[in-house]
Amino acid sequence: MKARAPRILMLGTAPEGRGGVAALVSVLRDGGLFEREAVAYVSTHREGGVFAKLGSAASGFSKAALACLRQRPRIVHAHAASGASFLRKSMLLWLARTAGCRTIFHLHGGGFRQFATVRSSMLTQRWIRHTLERSSLVIALSEGWAQFLRGFAPEARVTVVPNAVPLPRQGEQGEQGEQAEQAEPGRILFLGRLECAKGVAELLDAAATPAPRFPQLRLVLAGSGDLEAWRAAVAARGIGAHVELPGWLDAAARERELARASVFCLPSHAEGLPMSLLEAMAAGKAAVATAVGAVPEAVRDGENGLLVPPHDAPALAAALERLLADSALRGRLGTQARATVERHYSTEAVCGQLAAIYNDLAGVR
């Protein structure tokens, strides 16, 4: 018997994998969007070695192409970033349009501006512009990204849908006072890929400054990457007693680390709208982040977090020292951070936005 055609075909990385797209897809699925809107999901990328990635890309591409051409869903919704991710998704969206489907290009990743304007040839730039302008809708994570896309591809129809994170119930996370009791003084948490582009080197430099004044300082660098190289970088700065490198954490371990942290820090050089930052804000943590990508639209300096320039270790150190020394400030920023997520980045709000978009593109009122 022929399988029932999905209303929505969604494309992206494996939900059980790592990174922002995987985290967002898991949130949307767990929030009930897939069931309510008849969404079928095809993974076109997963973590692993080169051959595993190639195999996953080939398998996902063929499954998605067959679904577009045979089942013809009403809408094909692709989560895409730069490089190979863009090329895979742009070809699948072209196939979907050929089959008569409406298409959504959902942009992730802070490196897309560089990819589209600097790293790509003129021919590739034309293909990027063509993909954006021929999509039924382009979704940006913030108004800043939307403005860039409208300037790069003037004929594109662009709207803003932010990332979403689940908001822990107060009964699960505890009242703000209980959260403060759970948090360990001086514990700073970083969640993300361990690489220079995430500002890890500057974070190590910044942590070395307040360490003598705050002997309880503990910097937790949680994420995948070359752990041995970063251990060597820690040793070179003489702060081995203050740094933990636990590697990549699953969801339960991330929650435990967030509960233990006094401060969250993400000093990236470029970003879209980082899921780890939103998760920390939802957990009521005071955050220090760099003013890149959509971060300044989520974090208002001095109101619900602290912002510093990218590549600026002294500014980062000053912000961290300020939070470590002032428990009242940490509590106020954490409370406002959670309220910000509740108002603008909750699962319910974003799933509702996507459902309205699907109905509009499918001609349902």
308: domain CATH number is 3.40.50.2000
* Shared-domain flag, residues 57 and 67: yes
* Shared-domain flag, residues 272 and 320: yes
Tell whether 2 is covered by a domain.
Answer: no
Domain interval for residue 204: 170-344
Annotate 194-213 with b (16+ C-beta within 10 A) or e (fewer): bbeebbbbbbbbbbbbbbee
Tell whether 240 is covered by a domain.
Answer: yes
If pLDDT is split at 50, 70 and 90, which confidence band does 170 have? low
* Shared-domain flag, residues 243 and 320: yes
pTM of the model: 0.84
* Shared-domain flag, residues 103 and 207: no
Angstrom distance (rounded) from CA 327 to CA 218: 16
Q: When comparing pLDDT for 104 and 71, which is higher?
A: 104
Question: Which strands form 102-107's sheet, in the order they lie side by side?
Answer: 39-45, 8-13, 75-80, 102-107, 137-140, 158-160
Each residue's pLDDT tens digit, 92-118: 999 999 999 999 999 998 889 999 999
If pLDDT is split at 50, 70 and 90, which confidence band does 173 have? very low
* Shared-domain flag, residues 201 and 289: yes
Tell whether 249 is covered by a domain.
Answer: yes
On the question of pLDDT at 331 being above 90, the answer is yes
* Shared-domain flag, residues 155 and 177: no
Tell whether 287 is covered by a domain.
Answer: yes
Domain total of the chain:
2
* Shared-domain flag, residues 132 and 175: no
* Shared-domain flag, residues 114 and 205: no
**Segments in the chain forming alpha helices (H):** 20-30, 33-37, 50-66, 83-98, 112-114, 122-134, 143-152, 170-173, 176-182, 200-208, 227-236, 251-260, 275-282, 295-298, 313-324, 327-344, 347-361
* Shared-domain flag, residues 244 and 153: no
Tell whether 114 is covered by a domain.
Answer: yes
Angstrom distance (rounded) from CA 12 to CA 63: 12
Note every long-range contact of 348-355, with CB atoms under 8 Å and residues 24 or more positions apart, other chains counting. Answer: 348/31, 349/164, 350/28, 350/161, 350/162, 350/163, 350/164, 351/28, 351/31, 351/32, 351/33, 351/36, 351/164, 353/161, 354/28, 354/33, 354/37, 354/161, 355/33, 355/36, 355/37
* Shared-domain flag, residues 199 and 96: no
* Shared-domain flag, residues 17 and 125: yes
Tell whether 1 is covered by a domain.
Answer: no
**Residue whose C-alpha is closest to residue 6's, from 58, 63, 62:** 63
Each residue's pLDDT tens digit, 37-60: 999 999 887 766 777 677 777 888
pLDDT (mean) for 74-87: 93
Tell whether 179 is covered by a domain.
Answer: yes
* Shared-domain flag, residues 181 and 281: yes
Tell whether 3 is covered by a domain.
Answer: no
If pLDDT is split at 50, 70 and 90, which confidence band does 219 have? very high
Angstrom distance (rounded) from CA 322 to CA 314: 12
Q: When comparing pLDDT for 221 and 5, which is higher?
A: 221
